[in-house]
Amino acid sequence: MREIVLDTETTGLDPLKGDRIVEIGCVELLNRIPTGAHCHLYVNPERDMPEEAFRVHGLSAEFLSTKPVFAAVAQEFLDFIGDDALVIHNAAFDVGFLNMELRKIGQPELAQHRIVDTLQLARRRNPGGSASLDALCQRYGIDNSRRTKHGALLDSEILAEVYLELLGGRQATLGLSHLTDRNLRGGRAVAPRPTPLPSRLTADDLAAHAAFIATLGGGSPMWREYLDAPDAVAAE
């Protein structure tokens, strides 16, 4: 199962009043494990940067003036997210901006059924508690000390950790964050052993097991139809 954790930064709060996206950050999860694959885009909003927005994310109009417009990076973004679920904190905000930008270039909007809103998840799990990203980091002991300003990619990485906690805890990763992207994508927890370990079963063990199976009755065990099991070989 592939999921994309996503965040945006913008020039303001309302796309209907001319505010635009200036940064997009996405990180990939496979079976709820971060793979290290990500998409990070700065976007020229083709307008000024209000001071209050600049104080939030630190992206100036001058810096963004050299970046591509949304139409130029839209396909890279769409290719990365594919048709997979999108995990977003306060999803209505980000999806509203993204759909506005997609409409402007004639692309289909993001469907609501693929959106997972971690703000709603947090409110259901911790009713009455603060559900901001910083508050959730504090609740679950997640280090967000690098978050001196909002940044789309960094916030997506932090949100991925929060999301796993909201689903039941970090055991979902099994502590395997050090594994290579190749192993994660292949669905393996560890690399295969180059030389298989020899069997520790003796001939007496096999015979005893076959004798026990014979006492169960009901004819040949079903698994012998699918597996070349040692007890099947010993019984023949």
Q: Which residues are catalytic?
A: 150
DSSP, residue by residue, the chain? -EEEEEEEEESSS-GGGT--EEEEEEEEEETTEEEEEEEEEE---SS---HHHHHHH---HHHHTTSPPHHHHHHHHHHHHTTSEEEETTHHHHHHHHHHHHHHTTPPPPPGGGEEEHHHHHHHHSTTS--SHHHHHHHHT---TT-SS--HHHHHHHHHHHHHHHTT-GGGGTT-TTS-HHHHHTT-SSPPPSSPPPP---HHHHHHHHHHHHTT-SSS-GGGGT---HHHHHH-
